[in-house]
Amino acid sequence: MTQEPSTLYAKLLGETAEISWKELEPFFAKGALLWVDASLDLIEAAEGMAEDNRDKVAAWLAAGT
């Protein structure tokens, strides 16, 4: 049985696209950029942040992902 993605996951997926470093640089300069390890689903990470899922995000940060 496969779990259907949440509405938020689908929304975030629809808003995700490639972005150049030049576009990211201002966020990096302000310290407002997070690196997500390639082993982690980027959309799942965004969903965890958007839902303020502190336990999940803390576990990722502790693991370095």
| Residue 5 or 35, more confident | 35
pLDDT confidence tier of residue 58, bands split at 50, 70 and 90: very high
In a domain, 1, yes or no: no
Number of separate domains in the chain: 1
In a domain, 59, yes or no: yes
Please list the alpha-helical segments (H only) found in the chain: 7-14, 21-29, 42-50, 54-63
Checking if the pLDDT of 65 tops 90, the result is no
In a domain, 28, yes or no: yes
Average pLDDT of 8-37?
A: 95
Kindly state the DSSP code that residue 14 receives in the 8-state scheme: H
In a domain, 53, yes or no: yes
* pLDDT (0 to 100) of residue 2: 63
pLDDT tens per residue across span 28-51: 999 999 889 999 999 999 999 999
Task: State the residue range of the domain holding 49.
Answer: 7-63
Checking if the pLDDT of 15 tops 60, the result is yes
